[in-house]
Structure formats: structure tokens, C-alpha cells
Amino acid sequence: MRHSRTGSVLQIIGGARQYGAENFVTLLSRELDRIGISVAILAVRGPASSHGPVQVLTAGRRSRWDLGFFFRMVRIIRDYRPSVVHTHGYHGKLWGRLAARIAGVHHIVHTEHNSDFSSQVLQRVVNGVLHRSTGAVVTFSEMLAARLAKEDRVPRDRIVVIPNGVAPPERKLGKLALRVQPPLEKGAKVILHVGRLMKVKNQQLAIRVFRELRDLRPDERYCLLFAGAGEDDGALRQLAMTLGVADRIRFLGYRDDVDEIMRRCNVVLFTSLNEAMPLALLEAMYAGTPIVTTPWQGARELLEDGKLGCVTQSYDPKMVAAALVRWLDDREGTMRAADAAFAAVRSRFDIRLTARQHAALYARFNVAN
């Protein structure tokens, strides 16, 4: 194992998968490396690997009963000798911060990727202690900062707001073709949902909304695509069959060409129960594709009360379907919102800007590029 030079940052995350917080850590680490910050990733689960120039270490946790992973984390942190440990997600918030303290790290930063701060009594007590020894807690918006201070009892002077960021998509020349089987019906209006197939993403609502769409516009040709994999796959397929819409729904699984798919769709639909600042929504803004989302807390702030996309009034399938119809019918309005969203993501939510803001935060702890 290599040893870091003075001034390095070790990012701690649950795994190195390509969803949510874990995807963000990979993107951030690559960009930090590009601007001269020495950085590595420590994953609680999964094999050791590398993401381009960024080394990925692992504690190799095999199951929930494998508690030896914690001591392996402590040993890896001591060997790596980072100036800053930056933790992410549930595993980072609890185990990562605790391991960093035991390993003797003086400077700890934590990013709170969730918007649900509920926890068990013991977790709240431990988190309260760890908050006091954490140099900075990063969140994505002023609304989330206020909630962190009130609900998770993070000292307000420790909270730093740095918006989430995504990488600018690579634009490919030539006509784009959707790799979808069975092929889509020619001329169909395509609705895309992106995200892991899991309860919090609420994909069952998207299927119920799609059923309402067919009642609202029986002569219109619609198709619903799900880009993502997860534990709810079987239940969602069964629901689509039960509601009689399975013939117009495609489950694409995990895809590495989501940007291309987005640019071929008429609208991207988000149905989440709660979010912080979802990467998929920012990617849709970069793709220039109109957005319709349910009203999770923070959606109106992010989409500027409808200027950058449509936020539905409720989670009721009929109301969401009606909002989709209005959005799809208003071509001029949706394109105006998509253009404004593209301008916003370029100026505020680009991973290059996010990385520079993190570099400025690390400079407080004598990490310089």
C-alpha cells in the first residue's frame, strides 16, 4: 500500500457503485485529483480498485455480521495518514468518523447526502458526540443546512453549504439511437425515470401515473422507461402487469448511457419521497430535457418554483398525470424551462465548481493544491 504525502484527503463511502452519493464521491475525487489535490477513496464494501488516477482502498466488509471491517478501516486510515478524512453516507457518518478519530485524524469533514435525519436513540447520541469532533459538515442547500442544525443538532457554525455537482456530458456526433428492447413504438412520447429501484425513489407511483395517462389521453402513444436496477424490480414489473400497462413500460436496468437516453426522451419524471439534491435531476438539467418532479422537500428551491421544471402539487397519481400532460403539451414553456435549467446547472452545479469549493474547504485544514 502506498503512503500519502502530507496534505492528502481520504474519502470514505459505503461502496464504489455508480449511484447517488457513491457516484458523487467518484466524480468529486477525480476532479480533485485533476486540480492537484492528493485524494483516495476508502470503500467499506467491495474490492480494492482504481477509478482512473484515484486509488480505491477497501475495508472488505462481507456482511452485516462482519464487524472486523471497522478495525480494518482504522488500520487503513493509519497507514494512509491523510490530513483530512472526508466521510459520506450512513457508513461514513457513523463508522467512518469513528474510525478516523480512533486512527488519530485531527481533521474530519462529513457530507450529509440524505434529507431524512431520523435515527435510533443510540445513533443520535453517537452522532451528537461525533458532530462535536467534526471540523465541517457539508450539505447542499440553505434549507438543508437549517434542517441539519434543528433536526440533527449539528452546530450551525460547522455547517458548510456546497451544492451537489455533476460532470458535463460528453456530446457525441451523429444520430443517437436508443438501445431499448423491445423497440419503442414510432412516434411515442417517452417518459424516463432514473434511479435505483427502491422504496424511497417511489417508482410504483410512476407506474400508477402512467396508467392515469392512458385514461387521460387514450389515443396518445406514451412509453415509460426505467433506467436503474434494485430490489423493487420484481414488484414493479408485477404492478405494471396488474395495471395493464406492462406493454408500454421498459425496464432498462443499470445504464451507463443515461445522458444519451435523456436527450431522446420528452420528459424526465422524478417520483421520490425524499431527496437532498439528486444527481439524476442535475443530469437531466445538463441534458436539456424537461423535468417533472413530485414535491419532495427542497424540490421547489432547486427548480426555482417552477422556473427550471415542473413541481407537482401532490403525490396523487391523477394530479401528477395531469401535470405531465400540461407539461408535454406546452412545448414552448417546457423548452424555456429546459434552457433555464441548462444555464443553471452550468453556472452552479458543475462538478468542476463543486471540486474547487471543496478544495477551498480543505484549505482550512492545510490541504492545498
> In a structure prediction context, what are the per-residue pLDDT tens digits for the chain, which is 369 residues long?
444 445 699 999 988 666 678 889 999 999 999 999 999 999 998 876 666 789 999 999 988 899 999 999 999 999 999 999 999 988 899 999 999 999 999 999 999 998 887 776 677 788 888 998 899 999 999 999 999 999 888 999 999 999 999 998 876 544 455 677 777 778 889 999 999 999 999 999 999 999 999 899 998 999 999 999 999 999 999 999 999 999 999 999 998 888 889 998 999 999 999 998 999 999 999 999 999 999 999 999 999 999 999 999 999 999 999 999 999 999 999 999 999 999 999 999 999 999 999 999 999 998 776
Residue 4 covered by a domain: no
- Picking from 97, 108, 118, the residue whose alpha carbon sits closest to that of residue 44 is 97
What one-character DSSP code corresponds to residue 24?
Answer: H
pLDDT at res. 17? 63
Which residue range is the domain that position 281 belongs to? 189-348
Q: Is 156 exposed, middle or buried (0-12, 13-18, 19+ CB in 10 A)?
A: exposed
54 and 151 co-located in one domain: yes
Taking CA atoms, 262 is separated from 221, 287, 367, in Å, by: 18, 6, 38
CB-side exposure of 289: number of CA atoms within 13 Å? Answer: 27
247 and 134 co-located in one domain: no
**pTM of this structure:** 0.89
311 and 361 co-located in one domain: no
329 and 202 co-located in one domain: yes
Residue 132 covered by a domain: yes
Taking CA atoms, 305 is separated from 108, 275, 291, 313, 368, in Å, by: 35, 16, 13, 11, 38
236 and 309 co-located in one domain: yes
> Tens of pLDDT along 116-149?
877 766 777 888 889 988 999 999 999 999 999 9
Residue 174 covered by a domain: no
| Residues contacting 335, CB < 8 A, separation 6+ | 290
Contact of 289 with 263, CB cutoff 8 Å: yes
148 and 265 co-located in one domain: no
Query: What CA–CA distance (Å, rounded) separates 234 from 364?
Result: 48
CB atoms within 10 A of CB 241: 12
226 and 240 co-located in one domain: yes
Query: What CA–CA distance (Å, rounded) separates 110 from 37?
Result: 18
- Picking from 278, 257, 266, 249, the residue whose alpha carbon sits closest to that of residue 349 is 278
145 and 208 co-located in one domain: no
Contact of 32 with 353, CB cutoff 8 Å: no
Residue 259 covered by a domain: yes
Residue 3 covered by a domain: no
217 and 357 co-located in one domain: no
CB-side exposure of 236: number of CA atoms within 13 Å? Answer: 28
Residue 245 covered by a domain: yes
Q: Is 180 exposed, middle or buried (0-12, 13-18, 19+ CB in 10 A)?
A: middle
108 and 202 co-located in one domain: no
Residue 228 covered by a domain: yes
Residue 237 covered by a domain: yes
151 and 216 co-located in one domain: no
Q: What is the CATH number for 75?
A: 3.40.50.2000
Domain count, the chain: 2
338 and 296 co-located in one domain: yes
- Picking from 335, 189, 210, 183, the residue whose alpha carbon sits closest to that of residue 265 is 189
Contact of 315 with 204, CB cutoff 8 Å: no
What one-character DSSP code corresponds to residue 104?
Answer: T
